[in-house]
Amino acid sequence: MQRFAFKMFLHPGQRDEYRRRHDAIWPELSLLLREAGVRNYSIYLDEATNILFAYLERADDHRMAELPNEAVMRRWWDFMADIMRYEANVPVAIPLPEMFHMD
């Protein structure tokens, strides 16, 4: 299992809408992520900067690289585009290097 963290950027004033949409996440999207090897996925918001911090664990043989080709993923990204920073119809997501881990 691999740990993976990244940051994304929420538009100002969109905190409640972001939460509302994720509280009602589509079951088919959750299933797709699980099938791609994603587990223990959490997203946090730094309200001072509107930076979203995401953490997930993924199987060693995960298929996250295939997610952009999936129709459900594309529809979700289209659904979220008005409240987040996007480039080329994809949310800006910057991987973060692990600096410390304690079991």
Write phi, then psi, for 12 (nearest 5 degrees): -55, 140
Domain 2-96 has what CATH class?
alpha beta
Under 8 Å between Cβ of 93 and 64: no
Q: Summarize pLDDT for 37-70 with one digit per residue, the tens.
A: 999 999 999 999 999 999 999 999 999 999 999 9
Spans of all domains in the chain: 2-96
Query: Which residues neighbour 53 within 8 Å (Cβ) at sequence distance 6 or greater?
Result: 5, 7, 43, 44, 45, 46, 96
pTM for this model (two decimals):
0.90
Q: Is 22 a catalytic residue?
A: yes
Question: What letter does residue 11 receive in the DSSP assignment?
Answer: P
- Between strands 38-46 and 90-91, the pairing is unpaired
* pLDDT value for 57: 97
Which is catalytic among the residues 11, 22, 62, 101? Answer: 22
